[in-house]
Structure 1
Amino acid sequence: MSTLLVISPLARVRWVAGRLEISAAGHVVTLSISEADALAVMHAFAQPSTVSEVRTQFSFIDVDSLIAELQSAAVLVPPAQVAAIESARWDVDSLTFHRRSRASAGGGSPPVSPPVVPARPASTMFRLDWPTHPMLQNLPSLLNARESRRSWPDEPTRDLGRLLWLSARNRDTGPHVVSRPYPSGGAAYSLELYPVVAPDAVASVPAGIYRYLPDTHALELISPDAHKPVLAGAAAAAGAERAPVAIVVTSRFERASSTYGELAYSLVLKEVGALFQTFYLVAEYLGLAVCALGGGCPDDLFAEAIGAHDLIEPVVGELVVGPASR
C-alpha cells in the first residue's frame, strides 16, 4: 500500500489493569501482537510512512492486522487529517469523554441511586420568603409546571417558530457580537440548532433537516430526505412511538476552544443545559411538549447530512418538541 500514514495527535498509550492500551479519543486498539512490538510498530509511523515501508522493518511478525486495527481506531491517520485535527483545537481528554458519552447507549442493570434528599444531622432551619414582587409571565408557574413529555398528538406543531425566536434568536445582529436569550461562557455561543421535521409535523414546513438561522429567524433546508433515521433515533431515546420534531444541537467547537482551551468542552455542556432549560420554560409558556434526550441521534449519518466533520461540529444534545396533549 502506498498511502502515507502517521500517528494521530489524538493517540495515547496507557497502562490499564496490567495491559497496554492504545487509543485515540475513545477508540481502543485490540492488540494482536506483543506490547513491545506494538509500540515499535507505532513508533515507525512517527513520521509519515507507508504500510509497505513499515512492513519491511518487521518481517519477523505479522504487522498487517495491527496496522489495520490502528487505522480503524484512528490511531494512524493520513497526514492531511493531522492538520484538520489540530485546527479543531480539541483537548484529547475532552474529545475522549465526548465520544464515549455519545457512543454509550446505556443498558444493563440500573445503578442503585442514593436518596433524593441525603441524610443530614439535625440542624436549625431558616425558611425563606416567597417572592412578592410581580414576575414576568408568571415565572414560578412555568417552573413548577415544567416537565418532560414523551407523547404528542397527531397534529401540526404550530408554534415552532415562536419557540425558536423566544429561545435562541440572535438579539444583536452586529458583525462581531452574539447575544441570545440563554447565557454562554464568554458569549461564545458555539451552538447550532438543526430542527428535524417529520412529514406534516409543522404547518407549511416540509419534512427534512433544517438549520435554524438565528440572525434572520429562518429555517435553511439542509436535507429533504435524511430525516427518518434521526427521528427514529429520537423517538426510541424518548421511549415514544414517534417524534414530530427533533432539535439536534451541535457545537462549532472552535468558537469556544479558541478562547478557553481545555475548559471549552465543559463550557459547551453548560451552554447546552442553559439552552435546554430555556426551551423547557418557553415551551411550557407556549403550550408545547418537550423532552430532552440523553442521546439517540445517529452521529455519523447526521454529520454526513449536514456536511460537517464531528471534530469541527459535534452533536452535543437533542430534544423532541411537539404539540401538548389537551
Structure 2
Amino acid sequence: MLKAQKADRDLSEMREPFISSQKASVSGSYCNTSVQTERDQLFQKQAFPAALQKTDGKSVSSRVSPQKTMEAEGRNYPTSQVPGPKEQRPNSKTISAKVHCVGSPSPNKILYEATSMERFLDLVDKYWHGYKSLHCNEKFLSQAGPLLSAMQKSTLTDQQKDSIEVHQELDNLLLEKKALKNTLSEQDQKYSIRINNLMSEMSSTKKEKEALKKHLDQLLEENTNLKSHLSHVDQNVKTPNTLNSLQSKFIELQNLNQQISSENNHLKQRLQQYSKIQELAEMLQESHRTLVSTNEHLLQELTETRKRHKAEVEQLHWSYNQLKKTMGRISPSSLDNSRC
C-alpha cells in the first residue's frame, strides 16, 4: 500500500512539469474551471458510457481513472504500474475532468476531444516507468507532440468558428437595430404627421364652433326682434284705423300686381320676338359661313387657273423662243441655197 502511494506521488511529481508546460494550450482552450457542469456530465454520459463506472456506490462519471479504462479494454500492465484499488491518480483525473469541461460543446466535438485525450493518457500509462521516465523518452515525446498540436489546432479552429458566428450574429443584430431604428423613425414621422393633422382639424373645428355660436346668437337676436315686431303688428291690427289702412294697402297691392302681370306679358312677347330674331341671326351666320366657304373654294380654283395659265404662257414663250432660234438657224442656209 505504501509503495503504491509512493508511486502515485512520483507520478504526480513527474507529470506536473510536463503538463504545466501544456497547461495554457489545454486548459485555456477547453475550460476555465475544473468543476464540470451538469450539461458536460450529460454529454459525457452520452459519449462514454463504458468509461463511467461506480466506486463505493457513487457515480464517478466526471472522473474516470485511466487504469480502469485500460482494464476494461483488456490491456495488461506490470504490477509496478498498477495503483491500489482505492488509490487513484489525481493528476490524470483532474486532467480528464479539465479536458471534458467545455462550455456548451457539440457532441462530435466532445467525442474528438475525449479520444485524443485518452490517447494521450494511454501514452502516459504505456511509457511511464517511474520518476522522470517520460522526460527523455523520445517515443513518448514524438507521439505526444502531434496529439497535443492536433488538440490545440482543433480548439483554435473551434474558437475561430465561434468568433465568426459571434461576428455574424453581431452583424445581424446591428442590421436588425438599424431596421428597427428606421421603422421607429418612420412611425415617428407618421405619428407626427397624424398629430399635426389632428391638431389642424381640431383648430378648424374650434373655429367652426365659434362661427356657429356667433350665427346662433344672431339668429336668436333676429328671433327676438321678429317676436317683438309680430306683437307690435298684432296690436296695430286690432285698431279700426289700421283695418282701413290695410284695405287701402291691399287695393294698392292688387293694382300693383296687375301692372306687374301686364308688364310680364309684354316682356314675354318681347322675349319671343328676341328668340325669333336670334334664330334669324343664326340662319344669317350659317349662310355667311357657307358663302365664305364657297368664296374660298372659288379663290382656290382661281389661283389654280392662274397658275395653269401662267404655265401655259411660259410654255408658249419657250416654244416661241425655240421656234425663233430654229428659224434663225434655218434662214441663212436657205438663202445660200437659193443663191446657188
* TM-score bracket for the superposition, by shorter chain length: under 0.3
Q: In proportion to residue count, which structure has more strand? A: 1
Task: Give TM-score, length-normalised by structure 2.
Answer: 0.19
Q: In proportion to residue count, which structure has more helix? A: 2
Task: Give TM-score, length-normalised by structure 1.
Answer: 0.20
Q: Which has the higher contact order (CA 8 A, sep 6+)?
A: 1
